[in-house]
């Protein structure tokens, strides 16, 4: 069974600074996909970025980048140049290739200060 761990329940970051959100995972499947989602206070789930287990390069999407370290089973999200609108809860998620079961970590709340 897969497990996703996010050890930072809450973080504060100054506007315009970068913040790194930690995510480690455990799976026996050699092929899997990793995802990050954002959930603002309004409650909707917003997809941010995807990383495949066989991707050679770290994924990037605008101000979001994923620091993927396969041997460490780590997939940290980096948000650069933080904005007030980045204040939200962030979830790491994983799908193994063998059953498409999408599981989530407990989430990290990010608060951006002006």
Partner 1 sequence: NAGVTQTPKFQVLKTGQSMTLQCAQDMNHNSMYWYRQDPGMGLRLIYYSASEGTTDKGEVPNGYNVSRLNKREFSLRLESAAPSQTSVYFCASSPGAMNTEAFFGQGTRLTVV
Site residues (CB under 8 A) for partner 1? 6, 31-33, 35, 43-45, 47, 50, 52, 91, 95-97, 99-107, 109
Q: How far is the CB of 32 from partner 1 (least distance, A)?
A: 6
Nearer to partner 1, 34 or 79 (CB): 34
Q: Which residues of 29-49 are buried (b: 16+ CB within 10 A; e: fewer)?
A: eeebbbbbbbeeeeeeeeebb
Q: Would you say 55 and 68 are in contact if contact means Cβ atoms under 8 Å apart?
A: yes
Nearer to partner 1, 56 or 114 (CB): 56
Give the phi and the psi of residue 27 in degrees, each rounded to 5: -155, 150
Q: How far is the CB of 100 from partner 1 (least distance, A)?
A: 5
């Amino acid at each position: 069974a897969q497990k996703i761990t996010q050890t930072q329940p809450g973080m504060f970051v100054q506007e315009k600074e970068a913040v790194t959100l930690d995510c480690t995972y455990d799976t026996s499947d050699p092929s899997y996909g990793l995802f990050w989602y954002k959930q603002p206070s309004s409650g909707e789930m917003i997809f941010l970025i995807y990383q495949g287990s066989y991707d050679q390069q770290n994924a990037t999407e605008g101000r979001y980048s994923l620091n993927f370290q396969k041997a460490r089973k780590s997939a940290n999200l980096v948000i650069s140049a933080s904005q007030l609108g980045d204040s939200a809860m962030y979830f790491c998620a994983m799908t193994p290739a063998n059953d498409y079961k999408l599981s989530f970590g407990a989430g990290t709340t990010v608060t951006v200060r002006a």
